[in-house]
Chains A and B, each alone.
Chain A
Amino acid sequence: MDLNRPALPLQNKATPRTRKALAATAVAAALLLSACGGGAAPQGAEQAAAADPASGANASGAVNICGVKDASGIYKGTAEAFTKANGKVAAKYTEIGATTDEARTQIVQRLEGKSTECDLFVTDVIWTSEFASQGWLLDQTKLVEANKDRLIPSTVETTKYQDKYWGSPFFTNAGLIYYQKDKVAKPESWQQLYAEAAKAPGNGYVYQGKQYEGLTVNFLEMLYSAGGEVLNEQGDVKIDSKETRDVLNFMSDGLKNSSADRAVLTYNEDPARLAYESGDFGYQRNWPHVYRLLNATPLASSFAVAPLPAWEGGKASGVLGGWNLAISAHSTNQAGAVAFIDFATSPNWQKHVAMDYSQAPVNEAAYSDPAVLQKMPFATELLASVKGAKPRPISPVYPQISQAIYKNVYAVLSGTASTEEAVQKMAEEITTAKASF
């Protein structure tokens, strides 16, 4: 036992050390996790170079297009068709994210790191100003102007930032109303839709009311048709308005009088579609891709499609979605990228965009093409929605603006804030966001 004695003080001394080591390990583990989120700081300002519209004709080599997982096959299909048609330039599509959010993270990482891996990025319409303001994209103003007569003006506007165009629209997207023609009438105004929806339990309206980007879209569609706006042409905050209050009250009343099921507070696109497919509802707001899915259900013969309705006494409007083609400032084959854009936006290929992939073309003529109409019988309604739609607020801090909108709209809908509180908070938060450094 005596032999052990001298060891004891050491052991006692070691205990606080063990304790420290434990704590240190914990700290290290936790910090490592936190630190991973730190990301790289942006660095190196650049003057944006411009794409030359004439360069596409003499292009050669390889073009790599990067973007979100190709669920409909449109990106890979376009790349293949382009390669075949062009003969000199070989295009390939690289999936760099399973979801829109992931793809954005991946694109931002590549752009921040000045990666030359991708020549073109498929960008969500709401990313334009953020990417352009960072000097990450090639200025496409000349290219867009050369192609202007074949593109629907509202879709071109989604690529604009500070009077220049930073991308070319590839395909667009606008909300549609799906309705059960055996139960409810075609919606002419939001007021009529809500009134009709409240008439019987099976007439209800489903939309995307979860606290996320989709709620911003659903709200803005109504706000725009009511004549309201978030930012004006000069970029001043205009959300604190009578229109905003009217729309918020209208939406929250709709939940109280059962025009819309309270479950919409948990719905994004897919749950809304699934709920509608149960046959228990009269109206659904969703994107065009739902058409094909609904056609495969027992509702196939009883549903119809309408453009988004107007606000009573106003005109119909909407919010543009869709995807643009942006050329990376670090692309090593800009001419090849221009050639690809020329092909993808050509009137002929735009027909395939609709026929083969059920996406909304950015070329107006495609909507009245007989072959397109056969595959996409709601093309006329879709065109009406697209032409009436407006972009979401254009700002490099759009994500923050959108959060200010959907969080506060959600608070009103779920009943945790009054319209007045929400409007003021929204205006305040958007103003703060706009003042971001």
Chain B
Amino acid sequence: MATRTLQAPAKTSGRDRAERKLAFRMTAPSLFIMALVAAVPIGYAIWLSLNQYSVRTAGLSRFVGLENYVNALASQEWWAAFGQTFLFAGLSVSLELILGTAMALLLNLAFKGRAVLRTVVLLPYAIITVVSAITWQTMFQPNMGLVTNVLSALGLPGGDVVWLGEHGYAMAVIVMADVWKTTPFAALIILAGLQVISAETYEAAELDGASKWQTFVNITLPLLRPAIVLAAIFRTMDALRVFDLPFVLTRGANGTESMSMLAYTQLRENRLVGEGSALSILTFLTVMVVSVIYVRFAGGNIRDVAKEEQ
């Protein structure tokens, strides 16, 4: 600090401090509102999770410390849901990024009707998840569903499978439903990333005699990384909180119960407010740890690329 004060003129430092104060004052109202709408409910949820509320005697509650957490972490259900949620997130997010990149590359080509197509591909994303879940449920209905009928008509395997009643298959349907719905969202973010890559870079590559594939691997992908990472962060956070798809499609049967579903069952169906809140907080902590890892490691790349571009 001392060296810094010596190097920098005292005047600037004073103004600096004044400016910071002003900045603080200007952001204070929004910080206050943030605290009110976010911190208060969070604090309350944490408080609830440290208590148990009687389901047999009205108004009875007791402070149990971390017991709800200990019980949750000792239960098979939590770890099963934990594993299933991560499996779902891993599968769906990777598929969404691969397909989303492909889709973005297509939409980035110059062709007639591009603007219309860009709007149209977003349609699945505009459909309410519960509605799309019901649609997928109908399509995979045994005996009368579209998918099962088409598969059996073509003599392909899977036509006689009860998709939502079978381990593995049920997860496949849920992943498909999620990929169908949210790939356009990933594509849109990646498309935005594609559009900031300057044409000159490609021209230079062409002059140097790079092949299409080399251009893609050595120019497009690295420059697209920040956009892909951003899409990955959004999608992962959403996927780890998945609720509506398994709730509608399987009710958590056949290895598809997610962390959020477990919390919902305890809170809403069983009215175990303390236990359910602990599960919510655990879900939240999981999502937070994952996003912090993303921001820390992948976020570094965003800055590197930004610097390189400068």
Interface residues of A (CB under 8 A from B): 6, 15, 19, 22-23, 26-28, 30-39, 41-46, 101, 105, 108, 130, 133-136, 210-212, 261-263, 265-266, 271, 274-275, 278, 280, 396-397, 399-400, 403, 410, 414, 416, 436-437
> A45 to B59, alpha carbons, bound, how many Å?
5
> A44 to B58, alpha carbons, bound, how many Å?
6
A15-B303, A28-B34, A261-B142 known; A38 vs B59 contact (CB < 8 Å): no
Q: Which residues of B contact A30 (CB under 8 A)?
A: 237, 241, 284, 287-288, 291
> A310 to B280, alpha carbons, bound, how many Å?
45
> A332 to B54, alpha carbons, bound, how many Å?
27
A139 to chain B, nearest CB (A): 14
3 A-B pairs with least C-beta separation: A265-B165, A263-B142, A211-B253
Which residue from B45, B55, B61, B166 sits with its C-beta under 8 Å from A35?
B45
Please state if B51 and A42 are interface contacts (CB–CB under 8 Å). Answer: no
Q: List 30 A-B contacts (CB under 8 A).
A: A6-B8, A19-B295, A23-B292, A26-B288, A27-B291, A28-B38, A28-B42, A30-B291, A31-B38, A38-B45, A38-B48, A38-B273, A38-B276, A41-B48, A41-B61, A42-B54, A42-B58, A45-B60, A130-B55, A130-B271, A134-B58, A262-B142, A265-B162, A266-B137, A278-B144, A397-B55, A403-B270, A414-B165, A437-B60, A437-B62
A43 to chain B, nearest CB (A): 5
> A30 to B290, alpha carbons, bound, how many Å?
12
Q: Which residues of A contact B158 (CB under 8 A)?
A: none
> A33 to B238, alpha carbons, bound, how many Å?
11
B211 to chain A, nearest CB (A): 37
> A176 to B74, alpha carbons, bound, how many Å?
42
Interface of A, helix, strand, loop or mixed by DSSP: helix
Query: Of residues B34, B164, B270, B273, which shows the largest number of chain A Cβ atoms within 10 Å of its Cβ?
Result: B270
B171 to chain A, nearest CB (A): 14
Q: Which residues of A contact B273 (CB under 8 A)?
A: 38-39, 41-42
**Is B254 engaged at the interface, CB distance under 8 Å to the other chain?**
yes
Q: Which residues of B contact A101 (CB under 8 A)?
A: 268-269
Please state if B288 and A27 are interface contacts (CB–CB under 8 Å). Answer: yes
> A218 to B287, alpha carbons, bound, how many Å?
38
A405 to chain B, nearest CB (A): 14
Which residue from A26, A34, A212 sits with its C-beta under 8 Å from B291?
A26
A22-B295, A23-B288, A396-B56 known; A35 vs B280 contact (CB < 8 Å): yes
> A134 to B34, alpha carbons, bound, how many Å?
35
**Interface-forming stretch among B96-104, B180-188, B216-224, B259-267?**
B259-267
Please state if B269 and A399 are interface contacts (CB–CB under 8 Å). Answer: yes
**Is B212 engaged at the interface, CB distance under 8 Å to the other chain?**
no
Please state if A35 and B288 are interface contacts (CB–CB under 8 Å). Answer: no
**Is B112 engaged at the interface, CB distance under 8 Å to the other chain?**
no
**Is B281 engaged at the interface, CB distance under 8 Å to the other chain?**
yes
Please state if B252 and A35 are interface contacts (CB–CB under 8 Å). Answer: no
**Is B250 engaged at the interface, CB distance under 8 Å to the other chain?**
yes
Which residue from A15, A19, A45, A436 sits with its C-beta under 8 Å from B272?
A436
**Is B125 engaged at the interface, CB distance under 8 Å to the other chain?**
no
Q: Which residues of B contact A41 (CB under 8 A)?
A: 48, 51, 53, 61, 273
Q: Which residues of A contact B164 (CB under 8 A)?
A: 265-266
Give 1 or 0 for each of B127-164: 1 = CB within 8 Å of chain A CB.
00000000001000111100000000000000000101
> A4 to B260, alpha carbons, bound, how many Å?
48
Please state if A31 and B284 are interface contacts (CB–CB under 8 Å). Answer: yes
Query: Of residues A41, A105, A410, which shows the largest number of chain B Cβ atoms within 10 Å of its Cβ?
Result: A41
A217 to chain B, nearest CB (A): 15
Q: Which residues of A contact B280 (CB under 8 A)?
A: 34-35, 37-38
Please state if B56 and A23 are interface contacts (CB–CB under 8 Å). Answer: no
Which residue from A133, A211, A410 sits with its C-beta under 8 Å from B56?
A133
**Is B21 engaged at the interface, CB distance under 8 Å to the other chain?**
no
